[in-house]
Structure 1
Amino acid sequence: MKIIISDNNDSFTHNLAHLVFRTSGFKPEVMPWTELTAARAAEADHLFISPGPGCPAEYPLYSFIKDITAHVTGICLGMQILNEIHGGTTTRAPLPVHGKTDVIEWQGGSRRVARYHSLYCGKVASCFDIESANADGLPMIIRHKTNPFTGFQFHPESFLTENGGEFIAYALGK
C-alpha cells in the first residue's frame, strides 16, 4: 500500500507518520504540501492531509483533491481543507483550544481526543456526514457520503488521544 502524508509545516506530521506506520505496517512517504500534485496524489492508495498553521485558503494547491480516487484523510487543518474544497466553510471557533482533551461519542462509545485548533468546519459540505460532534456541537469526525474521504478535527497522533490508531485504522478501511 502506498501512503503519502502531505506535510502542512506542522510539528505533528512525523507523529502522524509514526502512527500510520504502526497502524498499517506501511511506511508513509512524507512530502511538503507544496510538492503534492494531482499526479503524485494519484500514485497513492491513501493520502493524509496533515494538520498545520493557518486556514484552508492559504493552501490553494489542494483543489484537485475532490477529483482523485485515492482514499483521503484530513486531520485538523486537513479536515477543514477537505470540507472547503467540497463547498463547506471554516469558521473561527468560539474558544481556541490548544493541547486540551475533549470527549466525543463515536461508534457506540466515548473517546478522549486531543484538540489543537482555533478554527472548525462551521458549515459542513452537504456531501459529508457528521459522524461525531463534541458537546458544543463542533464537528469532530466527518465522512464523505460516496467517496473514501474522512476528516478528524482532533489529532489522533497526539499522545493525549486515547487509541489514536483506532481512528487511523478506520480511515484506512481496516
Structure 2
Amino acid sequence: MKIYVIYNYGQYNHLIHRTLRDLGVETKLVENTTPVEQLKDVDGLVIGGGPSLDRTGNCELYLKELDVPMIGICLGHQLMAKVFGGEVGKGSMGGYSEVKVRIVEDDELFEGIPREITVWASHMDEVKKLPEGFKRLAESDICKIEAMRHEKKPLYGVQWHPEVYHSQFGVELYRNFIEICKK
C-alpha cells in the first residue's frame, strides 16, 4: 500500500505523512511540482493543506489525470472543489479554531466515527458551493461544507485537519481512507 502526501507548503503536511507511516503505509511527502508520471504507481494521494490556491503546483493535474483515491485536506479540499467547478470564498471565521463538525451523510470515510466530533480548523477560505457530482458529508456552524465526496469516484475533501492532535478521530479517518485505497 503506497499513499503519498502532496506538500502544498502547509504547516501540518508532515503530520499527515507521520500518521500514514504510523498506520503502516508506505508513504512519502512529495513536492506539488512532481510530474504526474511519477505518481502513476501510488494507491492513493493526500492533497495536503497550504497557504494559497495559487501555490498548488500540479495538484490540478493530479485530480484530473490520476485514477486513484484522493483526499484533500483544508486547501486540498478547496482545490478539489474549485477544479471540479465548485466555488471557494472567504469563510465567516478565519484563523485557528476548535470546531464541532456534524456528519450529515453516512460514508465509509466516517466508518466508526461519531456523528459529531470536535476538530481543529486552520483556514481563511472554505468551499462555498459544491461542485456538480459531489455531495456534502459534514457541516458545522461556521462552514456548511466541512466534508464532501464525489458521487462516483473515491475523491474526498475535508476542511479541517484530522492529522493534528486536537482533532478527534483523525487517525480513524486516515485509517478509513487507507481502506478505501485498498479497494
TM-score, with structure 2 as normaliser: 0.86
Matched, 1:46 2:52: no
Could you say which residue in structure 1 is the equivalent of 2:67? 69
**SS of equivalent residue, structure 1 residue 139:** coil
Q: Which runs of 5+ in 1 are unaligned?
A: none
Aligned partner of 2:139 among 126, 133, 149: 133
Contact kept? 1:47, 1:70, Cα under 8 Å: yes
Q: CA shift at 1:59, angstroms? A: 2.3
Aligned partner of 1:145 among 148, 151, 155: 151
Q: CA shift at 1:60, angstroms? A: 5.0
**SS of equivalent residue, structure 2 residue 146:** strand
Could you say which residue in structure 2 is the equivalent of 1:28? 27
Mapping 1:82-101, distance limit 5 Å: 82-98=80-96, 100-101=97-98
Contact kept? 1:114, 1:158, Cα under 8 Å: yes
Q: CA shift at 1:67, angstroms? A: 2.9
**SS of equivalent residue, structure 2 residue 58:** helix
Q: Work out the CA distance in 1 between the residues paired with 2:13 and 2:55.
A: 18
Q: Which structure: greater strand fraction?
A: 1
Deviant stretches of 4+, over 3 Å: none
Q: How many pairs are equivalent?
A: 170
TM-score, with structure 1 as normaliser: 0.90
Compute the RMSD of aligned alpha carbons: 1.6
| Identity %, equivalent residues | 21
Could you say which residue in structure 2 is the equivalent of 1:13? 13
Q: CA shift at 1:166, angstroms? A: 1.4
Q: Which runs of 5+ in 2 are unaligned?
A: 107-113
